[in-house]
Amino acid sequence: MKNMRIVFLMVLLPALAALPLDEPRVPRNADEVARPGGKLPGNVRIALVKVAENFYDPTNVASANDGSGRIFVVERVGRVKIVHKDGRVQKEPFLDLTNINPLGTDVQTGFVEQGLYSIAFHPRFKENGYFYVHYASLPFNGDGVIVRFQADPKSPNIMTPERTRQTSKVLLRIEQPYYNHNGGQIDFGPDGYLYIGSGDGGWEGDPLEAGQDLSTLLGKILRIDVNTSDDDRIPYKIPPANPFAVASAERLMQLFGISELDFSKIKMRARREIWAYGLRNPYEFSFDLKTGNLYIADVGQNHWEEIDFQPASSKGGENYGWAKMQGTRCFPMTGPDDKCPQVGVLPAGEYPHQTPYPGAAALKDGWGCSVEGLGVANYGGMKGIYLVGDWCSGRVFGLGWDGKRWQLEELLQTNLQFTAGGYDEDGYVLAVNCNCFYTSDRGPTGNPPGSLWRILPADQVPSGAETARTIPKTTGATSSGAGGMLVFRNALDDTALDFNSAPDAGLSPAVRQFRNAGRNPYRGNATAIGEGKAAYLQNCASCHLEDGTGRIGSNLVDSQVSHPRVSTDVGMFEVIYAGGTGAMQPFAGRITADTILKIMAYIDSLPKK
C-alpha cells in the first residue's frame, strides 16, 4: 500500500505542476489588495531606454499597428508627432489641431490638465485609415470631444488642415464643468469597441457626485461602437451587451410578477454608454495584449492611488467606489482607523501619498501622488505585469498576479514626471514624460520638453543607449575633484553639473564663495531670507507648503530626506539646480544660482518639526 501511494504521488505531482496557476481575480477583501513592498514573480529588472526627445508636454503614445513601425506621440498643445521605426522624429506633425480653426487653435490648454489627451487607431486602420482623438475643445469651453479623422493614403504621414476638417466626424461631446479631472485615455478593446476614460468633472472630492451617478458620463469608463458604416450619419452605436444598454428603455409598467432582481435593473436615467463607474480620474487604462484583461489607473485624492483590475470575462457594470471609497479607504479620510461599509469593487493594488492619512508621519519610501498607467508587459520574464509610473515621485511600480495573490513592487525611482504609456508594434511598453507641474507650468509649448521611452529588461539595454536616471538605493555624498575642489553633481547619477565650469564673471559674489567653500553665505541673512521666501512662495510652496511641511513635495523641515545629499548645503543646491525624482524638476535656467541660495536660506530658517 505504501509503495502504491508513492507511485500515485509520483504520477500526481507532475500533473499538478503542469496545471496553470490560478487566474488573476478581483480581490474579495482589503487584505487581498496589493500594496508597495510586494515581490513580483521572477526577478523583474527593467530599464527605461530613450527612444526620442523634444516633445512638448506629451500626454499619450500609441501605435497604428499597420506594419509601419510608427509611434505616435500626442502633445498637449494639440499636435501628434510621428517617431519612425529608425527613431527619427518627423518634423511636420501627423495631426495639428492648432491650425484647423480660422480663429486659432481648436484645443483648450489653459490649465495643465487640459489639451489633446489621446489618440486611438481603428483595429482596421490599415484598411480604412480611421483614427480617433479626445481633446478639450476651446470653442466648447473645455468640453471633451471624441472626433474621428481619416488618414490620406496618398500622404499617410501628414494630415493637412483641409484633410483634417473634411474628414472630421464628432462622435461625442462630454460636458466638463471644471478644468480638471477630464480623464482622457481612449483605446480599442479586444472586442473592437472604443473605450473612453472620463473623469468625475473636477474640482476636488466629486462635488457633483458624478462617480455614483448613472445619469452622467462623468466618472466612468465608457464603451461605444464606432462602426456605423451602414449609416455614417450616426455618431456611434451602443454595444448591445453594455451593462445599461436597455436599463433606461421605455416599457409598460408592471407591478406584479416581476422579481426584485429584474426591478433593480430598471434605471431610467442611466446612460447607455457606461461600461464601469465609480471612478475619479481614469486618466490612463491598458488592455493586456495577450489576455484582454483591463487595468485602470485611477488618480486618487489626497492620500491614496488605486489600480483597478477587470478580467476579460467581465460583463461590465463594475462600481469602483468613488466617491464613497478611494481604493480600500473611506472617503473622506479622517484618520488611520476610519470605518465604513465597502462600496463597489476593490482595486487590485493601491499605494499611498507621502501622508497616507490626515496627521500621518511622512513616508520615506513607496509613495506617490498620481498614478499613470503605462502598459502590461509580457516579455523579459514578465507575464501580465501592469507597469505604472507616478507623476510626482518618478517611481515605477509593477502590479502582477503570483498565482495566489496580487503583488505590487517598486521597480525603479526615476527623475521622470510620467504622463502616459502605450505599446509599440512589438508589444513593448512605452512611456512619455513631461516637465509640466501645476505651479511651474508655462503653457503647452513653454515647458522644458519631454521624451519617449521604451521599457526593456535591464539586461537587454542596447549598447550606448541612454537610460532614465534613477535614484541610487545607497546613500551618496558629494565628491571632490582634483586638489580637493568641490564638484557639484547630479543627485541621481553623480554626473558633474555644468555649474562647475560656469565663468566666475557671470556669478554673484555669494555664488562664487559658495562654489569654493560649499557653505551658503546667505544662511542667517535676514534680507536674503526675505528675498528667498518670496522666490520660494512663487516656485516651491505649492508642493512643499509655505512652512516646508510638504504636500505633494517632500517635507523639508523634518529629519527624513529623499536624497541623502540634501542634509548639506551643497546637496540641497544640487537637487534644486539639477532636479531630483519625478516632479522635482531642475530649476537651472529658470532661476539664478543666487536665488537658489536665498531659497535655501529661507528653508534653513524655517522651524524644524
Parallel, antiparallel or unpaired: strands 194-198 and 220-224 = antiparallel
Contact 198, 222 (CB under 8 A): yes
The answer to whether residue 39 sits within a structural domain is no
Helix/strand/coil for 159: coil
The yes-or-no verdict on residue 19 having pLDDT over 50 is no
Report the Cα 573 to chain-centroid distance in Å. Answer: 28
Whole-angstrom distance, CA of residue 134 vs CA of residue 343: 30
Residues in the chain: 609
Q: What is the CATH number of the domain that holds 540?
A: 1.10.760.10
pLDDT for 396-413, tens place per residue?
999 999 999 999 999 999
Question: Which residue, among 139, 109, 133, has the nearest Cα to 184 in the 3D structure?
Answer: 133
Residue with the larger pLDDT of the pair 413 and 11: 413
Spell out the residues 6+ positions from residue 63 whose beta carbon is closer than 8 angstroms to its own. Answer: 70, 71, 72, 121, 422, 423, 424, 425
DSSP state letter for 276: E
Q: Give the containing element (helix H, strand E) for 349.
A: strand 349-352
Contact 323, 333 (CB under 8 A): no
Amino acid, single-letter form, for residue 136: A
The stretches of 414-489 forming alpha helices (DSSP H) are none
| 3-state DSSP percent of the chain in helix, strand and coil, to 5 | 15, 25, 55
Same domain, 502 and 456: no
Q: What is the CATH number of the domain that holds 420?
A: 2.120.10.30
- Which residue's C-alpha cell is 469597441? 193
Same domain, 399 and 524: no
Amino acid, single-letter form, for residue 440: S
Query: Of 460, 494, 513, which residue is a domain's last?
Result: 460
Query: What value does the mean pLDDT take over residues 531-549?
Result: 90
The answer to whether residue 503 sits within a structural domain is yes
pLDDT at 13: 40
Contact 487, 500 (CB under 8 A): yes
Percent of the chain having pLDDT more than 90?
79
* Confidence at 482, pLDDT banded by 50, 70, 90: very low
Count CA atoms closer than 13 A to 359's CA, side-chain side: 5
Query: Of 430, 460, 490, which residue is a domain's last?
Result: 460
Percent of the chain having pLDDT more than 70?
93
The answer to whether residue 424 sits within a structural domain is yes
Query: What value does the mean pLDDT take over residues 582-590?
Result: 85
Question: Which residue, among 302, 303, 306, has the nearest Cα to 282 in the 3D structure?
Answer: 306
Q: What is the CA radius of gyration of the chain?
A: 26
Same domain, 226 and 337: yes
Same domain, 336 and 264: yes
Whole-angstrom distance, CA of residue 156 vs CA of residue 427: 22
Axis-axis angle for helices 569-578, 593-605 (nearest 10): 130
Same domain, 504 and 402: no
Same domain, 132 and 255: yes
- Which of these ranges, 32-36, 447-451, 457-461, 498-502, has the smallest mean pLDDT? 498-502
* Confidence at 561, pLDDT banded by 50, 70, 90: low
pLDDT for 140-169, tens place per residue?
999 999 999 999 999 999 999 999 999 999
Whole-angstrom distance, CA of residue 370 vs CA of residue 306: 9
Backbone angles phi, psi at 512, to 5 degrees: -60, -40
Same domain, 547 and 431: no
- Which residue's C-alpha cell is 474640482? 203
The answer to whether residue 193 sits within a structural domain is yes
Same domain, 164 and 277: yes
Contact 131, 121 (CB under 8 A): yes
For 46, other C-beta atoms within 10 Å of its C-beta total 22
Contact 95, 79 (CB under 8 A): yes
111, 363, 303, 554 alpha-carbon torsion, rounded to 10°? -20
Contact 75, 118 (CB under 8 A): no
- Which of these ranges, 115-124, 411-420, 487-496, 522-531, has the smallest mean pLDDT? 487-496
The answer to whether residue 253 sits within a structural domain is yes
First-to-final CA distance of the chain: 72
* Confidence at 335, pLDDT banded by 50, 70, 90: very high
DSSP state letter for 561: -
Same domain, 446 and 506: no
Same domain, 401 and 455: yes
Spell out the residues 6+ positions from residue 206 whose beta carbon is closer than 8 angstroms to its own. Answer: 200, 219, 280, 322, 323
Contact 92, 158 (CB under 8 A): yes
Same domain, 404 and 505: no
Whole-angstrom distance, CA of residue 567 vs CA of residue 602: 15
The yes-or-no verdict on residue 4 having pLDDT over 80 is no
pLDDT at 97: 98
The answer to whether residue 3 sits within a structural domain is no
Query: What value does the mean pLDDT take over residues 104-111?
Result: 95
Amino acid, single-letter form, for residue 427: G
* Confidence at 527, pLDDT banded by 50, 70, 90: very high
* Confidence at 564, pLDDT banded by 50, 70, 90: low
> All 3 cell numbers of residue 442?
508655462
Residue 431: C-alpha distances to residues 47, 80, 193, 400 (Å): 11, 15, 24, 19
pLDDT at 471: 79
> All 3 cell numbers of residue 13?
505531482
Any bridge partners for residue 60, and if so which? 74
Report the Cα 129 to chain-centroid distance in Å. Answer: 28
Same domain, 452 and 501: no
Query: Of 426, 460, 494, which residue is a domain's last?
Result: 460
pLDDT at 543: 84
Query: What value does the mean pLDDT take over residues 104-123?
Result: 96
Range of the domain at 498: 482-605
For 305, other C-beta atoms within 10 Å of its C-beta total 28
* Confidence at 492, pLDDT banded by 50, 70, 90: confident
Count: domains in the chain: 2
Give the predicted TM-score (pTM) of the model: 0.89
Highest averaged pLDDT of the listed ranges 7-11, 12-16, 308-312, 572-576: 308-312
Whole-angstrom distance, CA of residue 429 vs CA of residue 288: 11
The yes-or-no verdict on residue 476 having pLDDT over 90 is no
pLDDT at 383: 97
* Confidence at 338, pLDDT banded by 50, 70, 90: very high
Whole-angstrom distance, CA of residue 414 vs CA of residue 451: 13
The answer to whether residue 472 sits within a structural domain is no
Contact 489, 496 (CB under 8 A): yes
pLDDT for 361-384, tens place per residue?
888 889 999 999 999 999 999 999
Question: Which residue, among 118, 138, 278, 112, has the nearest Cα to 200 in the 3D structure?
Answer: 278
Q: What is the DSSP string of 493-524?
A: T-PBPGGGG--GGGS-HHHHHHHHH-S-TTTT
- Which residue's C-alpha cell is 496589493? 34
The yes-or-no verdict on residue 2 having pLDDT over 60 is no
Average pLDDT, whole number, for the chain?
Answer: 91
